[in-house]
Amino acid sequence: MKRLRLRPRFLRDVTSRDLSTTLLGRAVDMPIGVSPVGALGLFSPYGDLGAAKAAARFKTCMISSTSSNSTLEDIMKSSPESLKWFQLYVRPDRELTKALVQRVERAGYRALVVTVDVACVGRRYQELRYRFKLPPHLKPLNLGKNVVQDHVRNRGHDPALSWKDVAWLRSICSLPIILKGILTAEDARLAVQHGVDGILVSNHGGRQLDGVPATIEALPEIVQAAGDKLEVYMDGGVRTGTDVLKALALGARAVFVGRPVIWGLCYDGEEGVAKVLNILKEELSLAMALSGCTRLADIVPAMVVRASQYSRM
C-alpha cells in the first residue's frame, strides 16, 4: 500500500458522500466488510457473535468461517437481518461438505466463499515456534464432534480440489460462489469460464506461500481479466481509509478486513469491532472528500499511481 500514491482532484462539491454499494445485488452501507477468521473465540468471549453484531450495526457484510467457534446457525441468529456469506473449506469427505453447504443455505447465508489456496497448509513457523494449539474449550463447531480432531490436526483440506469441484458445488446448492485466494489473471479467466460469481483476492494473510504478491499488487490484473463477468473483492493489508480508497480505485468492489477485527475484539469485544469499522468508514469518507469523490463511482484508476513514478523525477 505504501508504494502507491493518490492523485486527488479538487474544486468539486464534496459536502456529502455516499459510501453505499451492492455486493452480488445486496445493498450494504459501505464497501468494507469482515473477512473470515477462524477461532475468533481466542480473542474475546464474544468471538464470532460479536463480530457479526458489529458488522450488522454498520449494515455491511460478514464472511463467517468454517472454523468458527460458534455454529453457523448461531452466528446467523445473532443478527439475522444483516448480509452474511459463508467461507467454505471443501473437505476430502464430500458428503460432509455437502451436508455443511446445505446447512449454510438453510440458515440464510447469501453466498459461498470457497477458499482455494490451501491445498496443503503452509509452513507457519510462528505457530511451530510457539507450539500453538487451540485451547480445548475452543472447537470448530460447524464440523461436528466426529471430525473436530481431524480438522485441528490437518485442517481437513483436500489437495485434490480442482475446478471440477466448482461445478459440483453448483450442483448441490443455488448460492452464488466466490473463490477466495485467486492471485493471477490466468485463474481469474478460468473462474469466469466456470461461471463463478465473484473473486476475493487474498493471500491468506501472507501465511501460505512465501513470495506471493501483496493482494493490492495482484488486484489490477485480476480485475482486468474478470472484466464485467464477475465481482472482485480484496482482503489483506487494509489498515486505513486510504488503503480502502486505493483498492477501490484499482477495481475492487469492496474490501474485507481480518486482523483489524481481531484487534477490535481484543480491545472491547463487539464494541471494539464496531470502533474499528467506524474508524475505517470515517477515514474512507474523509479520503473521498479530500480526493474529490462524493460516491464510489467517482473513484477511478487514474487516482492511483506507483510511488516510483515520482521518485524518477
Taking the chain (313 residues) in runs of 10, the rounded mean pLDDT of each run is 94 98 98 96 94 98 96 97 96 94 98 90 72 82 64 65 96 97 98 98 82 94 98 97 98 97 97 98 98 98 92 64
Which residues lie below 8 Å from residue 248, measured CB to CB, with a gap of 6+?
31, 254, 255, 296, 299
Provide the grid cell at 250: 484499482
Quote the pLDDT of residue 155.
Answer: 54
Closest CA to 256 of 4, 121, 13, 60: 60
Max CA pair span of the chain: 63
Q: What is the DSSP letter of 295?
A: B
Half-sphere exposure of 91 (CA within 13 A, CB side): 21
CA 49 to chain centre: 17
266-284 as b/e, with b when 16 or more CB fall inside 10 Å? eeebbbbbbebbeebbebb
- pLDDT of the residue at 145: 60
| Confidence at residue 146, expressed as pLDDT on a 0 to 100 scale | 53
Tell me what pLDDT residue 272 has: 98
Q: Report if pTM > 0.75.
A: yes
Cell 473477512 -> residue: 35
User: Hey, which residues are catalytic here?
Assistant: 204
- What was the pLDDT predicted at 130? 75
